[in-house]
Amino acid sequence: MNVFHFMLENHDEVVELMLEHLWLVGLSTMLAVLIGVPLGILIAHRSRLSSPVLASANIIQTIPSLALFGFLLPVSWLGERADRLAIVALTLYALLPIIRGTYTGIRKVDPAVLEAGRGMGLTNSQLLFQVELPLASGVILSGIRVALVISIGLATIAAAIGAGGLGELIFRGLAMVDDQVILAGAIPAALLALSADTIMGWLERRLQPR
Amino acid sequence: MNRASIIMLHSRLRILALVGVAALQLSCSTPRRDRVVIGSKNFTESFILGELMAQEIEARTRLQVERRFYLAGTYICHQAMLAGRIDLYPEYTGTALTAILKEPASGDREQVYQLVKRAYERRFGLTLGPAFGFNDTFAMEIRGEDARRLNIKTLSQASAFAPRWRAGFGYEFMERPDGYRGLAAAYGLHFAEPPRTMDLGLLARSLKNHQIDLAAGNTTDGFIPALDLFVLDDDKHYFPPYEAVPVVREQTLQRHPEISQVLAELGGTVHDDEMQHLNYEVDSLHRDVKEVVRDFLSKKGLITSAEARP
Amino acid sequence: MQEAAAAPAPASAPVIEFREVSYGVDGAEILSGLNLQVRAAETLLLLGRSGSGKTTTLKLVNHLLSPTAGEVLVRGVPNAKSDVIRLRRSIGYVIQDAGLFPHFNVERNIGLIPRIEGWPEERIQARVRELMQMVGLAPEMRARYPHQLSGGQRQRVGVARALAADPEILLMDEPFGALDPLTRDELQREFLLLQQRLRKTVIFVTHDLREALRLGTRVALMEAGRLVTALAPIEFLQSPNPLAAAYVKAFGGDLESLARRGSS
């Protein structure tokens, strides 16, 4: 197929953009986990906070991605470097699935098990790290998985504002009206999403509480 | 099992972090072996300039050139430069001044050029090569026959005839504060009726067909010579300069100093009317950009046909 | 036999004490004015129907709940003043259906507190072996997970887990309630043997008079958040208290032999 020939000839560029794509997605997902998991734990333990937090994350998700990029552009610290902006936007988008996954996973832990643990003299952090999180890990991971797959797709749009990644090939190909170039960006992006989904699915299964 | 799974998660995160850092290093300042990436925006004039630089570098140096044209706009190109995805691209001083540096448009050519160059060097690690030699700014166009018949060459002279004329402008020119409104104020232009807003593509034809008498276009439009249109001189220097310049990463120049020489050779080689002609050949005659540029470079003696790579 | 039931290890002060304890939530009063003392090596059976406050009473001992009035003292120290984690680690807690950690195998479930307390690994392993033997679990069970065990086996693990750090006090909340009658009988018997050997101070919650008479050195009857009466099994059977009498009547015959058998 032509597109593979093209990709082979331009493998430097494709690889460079793919690494950039992974960087955008990887960093933003990691940030979303660092922010979202603790937040999810917090609202799982304090139900009063759950509605406002989940509602806010929900609102962010409903903003169309391109619009969010647009809103953030005028913020000078963000607008200066498109990749910075993209990472902030991607992190925001990844928050809802991760917060919700964490919240649900922890709420689903059998309260009897928690009570037994507390009654036995486990401290709150011991309960969290040795009981709640391990038991919730499957659901938390499924939230991260959703976030990851969404991010890989969204990151292609980030190229529209100059953040790079595989989307750059797609947009360029569109402007040039050249299928090869479009596919050289679209196919790796799709493969990335598929692999991420598969790997995360495997991880989830391994961590299911038996 | 819980501890094991948490440890596994931690180590995976650590690996991801390492991959991420590696990718950042790679994507930020890729040590490209002997390769230079030239970008351009999404319109003919930009392709031509990009191709000009590409062919000259290919002919004069050992460097391999990768072309990444069709980038969607100024901001995209700028970000691509900052991220190191491209090394070099053609920009306009006026655009750099207002869109990137966010300064008010003003000053004469030399002032603007120096301002932009200094600011780019200080803030972005980028620099400007010598200007290509033409100014692509707003052009107030009238029919060539009218210019000759009325013996007018400047906008100041034309303002006397404005009350008898109908004007046609593109949407953006009408809306921008530094567009029609400012121009009318600067030259005291009063037209018989309010100017008509129309699609850019239709302006030239409307002018030719006497539906309008004055239009706003760009100084390097290909159809100016083709349709025998005349560009009135902006004698009050109302429009800011939009000199075409190469923008290049300082790191790239350090690594490949021979590029400076190539850019110096290209400096001042394309005048307004020459650019008009090049645009015309690609847009109206539908010739291939590469061929047009090769012919131009040969004609100018900047490359020999032996040096030109296919 | 009677003597064994009525003579706990000599101790001047009660191990667990409730002084005028009340507990309410959202305006509803669940316990009111509870006064109770539990002496060392006693097996106090809290008997009552659902809603009588017996589980609440239990949870006040290990400070899972805080009284809204009055004081709960363990070993002479009011709970409000003691370190809650140290308190709970010194009390074994067994709940219905065991509440085992589903992601830990038997060995990790039992060894959890010793591990947290930082015992050396060998000591933990030895203790786990010892406890498994004590509660009648075959050694090859140690690597099994809770979902692979029967109800009775799970409950044995629960008891072993509660005893792991060798606490002085044991709290048991209807531990055998979810088991079939045969298994329940087996476990009750084994409990008695264990208690004879270990002589823990036990508070055991049940709604089953038969279980209470069999296992308890004293039976404390609760109703609507109040302590109605607290008597040794034989005395309970003969008690003129109307509620106690109602229970005796409801549970039918052959209670005397239980009352006597339990105390031997």
Residue partners of C154: CB distance under 8 A and separation at least 6: C97, C98, C100, C146
Q: Which residues of A63-82 are buried (b: 16+ CB within 10 A; e: fewer)?
A: eebeebbeebeeeeebeeeb
Distance from CA of C145 to the nearest CA of A (A): 8
Q: What is the pLDDT of residue A25?
A: 97
Neighbours of chain B (3+ CB pairs under 8 A): A, C
Comparing CB atoms, the residue among A16, A161, A176 nearest residue B70 is: A176
CB contact under 8 A, A30 and B13: yes
pLDDT at C2: 41
Number of alpha carbons in the 13 Å side-chain half-sphere of residue A20: 31
Asked if B115 and B103 touch (Cβ cutoff 8 Å), the reply is: yes
Domain ranges of chain C: 3-90+167-263, 98-166
Decide if B27 and A20 are in contact by the 8 Å CB cutoff: yes
Alpha-carbon span B142 to B167, nearest angstrom? 10
Q: What residues of chain B lie within 8 A of the CB of A94, using their CB?
A: none
C contacts of A110 (beta carbons < 8 Å): 99, 102
Query: Mean pLDDT of all residues in chain A?
Result: 92
Contact (CB<8Å) A16/B26: yes
Q: Is A168 on the interface with B (CB under 8 A)?
A: yes
Beta bridge partners of C71: C19
Listed in sequence order, the residues at least 6 apart from C160 whose beta carbon sits closer than 8 Å to its beta carbon are: C110, C128, C131, C132, C134, C135, C137
Cβ pair C64:A119 closer than 8 A:
yes
Residues B215 and B142: their CA atoms lie apart, in Å, by: 7
The C-alpha angle with vertex B49 and arms to B46 and B55, in degrees rounded to 5, equals 135
Strand partners, C170: C92, C202
Tokens encoding C205: 């919650």
Average pLDDT over every residue of B141-147:
93
| Separation CA C21–CA C10 (nearest Å) | 26
* Beta partners for residue B154, in sequence order: B233
Cβ of A123: how many Cβ atoms within 10 Å?
15
Hey, what amino acid is at A112? A
Distance CA C200, CA C217 (A): 12
Which residues of chain C make contact with B1, given a CB cutoff of 8 A? Answer: 103-104, 108
Question: Distance between CA atoms of B288 and A41, rounded to whole angstroms?
Answer: 61
Smallest CA–CA distance from B2 into chain C, residue: C103
> How far is CA A19 from each of CA A14, B249, C219, rounded to the nearest angstrom?
9, 22, 72
Q: What is the pLDDT of residues A45-65, one digit of tens each?
A: 999 999 999 999 999 999 998
Residue located via tokens 């050195």 = C217
Residues B287-299 have pLDDT tens digits of 999 999 999 999 9
Question: Cα–Cα distance between B241 and B93 in angstroms, integer?
Answer: 7
Chain A: closest CA distance from residue B40 (Å):
11
Token pair of A64, please? Answer: 């169309």
> Where do we find the tokens 């009035």?
C69
Topology of domain C3-90+167-263 in CATH is Rossmann fold (3.40.50)
Q: What percent of chain A has pLDDT over 90?
A: 75
Residue B221's alpha-carbon distances to B131, B152, B175, C35, in angstroms, are 19, 20, 21, 100
How far apart are alpha carbons A210 and C103 in whole angstroms?
Answer: 7
Asked which of B159-168, B191-200, C57-66 is least confident by mean pLDDT, the reply is B191-200
Task: List, for residues B90-104, the tens digit of each pLDDT value.
Answer: 999 999 998 899 888
Measured distance CA(A126)–CA(A132) in Å, rounded? 9
Give yes or no for C145 touching B (CB within 8 A). no
Q: In the prediction, which pLDDT does A7 show?
A: 87
Contacts of A81 in chain B (CB under 8 A): 79, 82-83
The answer to whether the CB of C205 falls within 8 A of the CB of C95 is no
What is the distance between the alpha carbons of residues B12 and A205, in angstroms, rounded to a whole number? 16
| Gyration radius (Cα) of chain B, Å | 23
DSSP letters spanning chain B:
-HHHHHHHHHHHHHHHHHHHHHHHHHHHS---SSEEEEE--SSHHHHHHHHHHHHHHHHHSS-EEEEE-----HHHHHHHHHHTS-SEEEEEHHHIIIIIS-PPP-S-HHHHHHHHHHHHHHHHSEEE----S-B--EEEEEEHHHHHHHT--BHHHHHTTGGG--EEE-HHHHH-TTTHHHHHHHHT---SSPPEE--HHHHHHHHHTTS-SEEEEETT-THHHHTTEEEEB-TT--SPP-BEEEEEEHHHHHH-THHHHHHHHHTT---HHHHHHHHHHHHTS---HHHHHHHHHHHTTSS-TTT---
pLDDT in 10s for each residue of chain C, 264 residues: 344 444 444 456 899 999 999 999 998 999 999 999 999 999 999 999 888 999 999 999 999 999 999 999 999 999 999 999 999 999 999 999 889 999 999 999 999 999 999 999 999 999 999 999 999 999 999 999 999 999 999 999 999 999 999 999 999 999 999 899 999 999 999 999 999 999 999 999 999 999 999 999 999 999 999 999 999 999 999 999 999 999 998 988 778 888 876 554
Using an 8 Å Cβ cutoff, are C150 and C180 in contact? Answer: no
- For residues B152-166, average pLDDT: 92
Q: What is the helix (H) or strand (E) element at residue C228, kind and residue range?
A: strand C226-231
Higher pLDDT, B178 or C61: C61
Q: With 60 as the cut, is the pLDDT of residue B151 above it? A: yes
Separation CA B120–CA B128 (nearest Å): 8
pLDDT number for residue B29? 39
Paired strand residues for B167: B214
Residue B229 has pLDDT above 80, yes or no: yes
CB C258 within 8 A of CB C213: yes
Q: Chain B partners of A175 at a C-beta cutoff of 8 Å? A: 42, 70, 72
Residues contacting B288, CB < 8 A, separation 6+: B282
Beta bridge partners of B120: none
pLDDT at C1: 39
* Contacting residues of A for B13, CB less than 8 Å apart: 30, 33
Q: Give residue-wise pLDDT tens across range C37-52.
A: 999 999 999 999 888 9
Distance of CA A26 to the CA centre of its chain: 8
- In total, the C-beta contacts within 8 angstroms joining chain B to chain C are 5
Beta bridge partners of C223: C226
Helix (H/G/I), strand (E/B), else coil: C180: coil
Task: Say how far apart CA C106 and CA B139 lie, in whole Å.
Answer: 86
Compute the distance between CA of residue C22 and CA of residue C30 in angstroms, rounded to an integer. Answer: 7
Measure in Å the smallest separation between the Cα of A43 and chain C Cα atoms.
Answer: 21
pLDDT at B303: 75
Give the pLDDT of residue A77.
87
Mean pLDDT in residue range A81-90: 93
- B192 touching chain A per CB within 8 A: no
ipTM of the complex: 0.85
H or E segment at A194? Answer: helix A179-207
pLDDT at A135 over 70: yes
Look at residue C73 in the predicted model and tell me its pLDDT. Answer: 96
| A16 touching B (Cβ < 8 Å) | yes
Say if the Cβ atoms of B27 and A176 lie within 8 Å: no
Measured CA angle at C107 (ends C105, C112), to 5 deg: 95
For residue B103, what pLDDT is reported? Answer: 86
pLDDT value for B28: 45
Q: What is the pLDDT of residues C216-261, one digit of tens each?
A: 999 999 999 999 999 999 999 999 999 999 999 898 877 888 887 6
Is-contact C43 C232, C-beta < 8 A? no
The crossing angle, in degrees rounded to 10, of helices A82-107 and A47-62 is 140
Percent of chain A with pLDDT over 70: 99
Q: Which residues pair with B67 in a beta bridge?
A: B38
How far does A142 lie from chain C, in Å, by closest CA?
Answer: 18
Residue A110 to residues A115, A135, C63, Cα–Cα distance (Å): 9, 9, 20
A117 in B contact zone (CB under 8 Å): no
User: Interface partners of A (3+ CB pairs, < 8 Å)?
Assistant: B, C
| Residues of chain C neighbouring A210 (CB-CB closer than 8 A) | 102-103, 145, 147
Q: What is the pTM of this model?
A: 0.81
Q: Compute the nearest-CA separation of C105 from chain B (Å).
A: 9
Q: How far apart are CA B9 and CA B7, in angstroms?
A: 5
Answer whether B23 sits within 8 Å of A168, measured CB to CB.
Answer: no
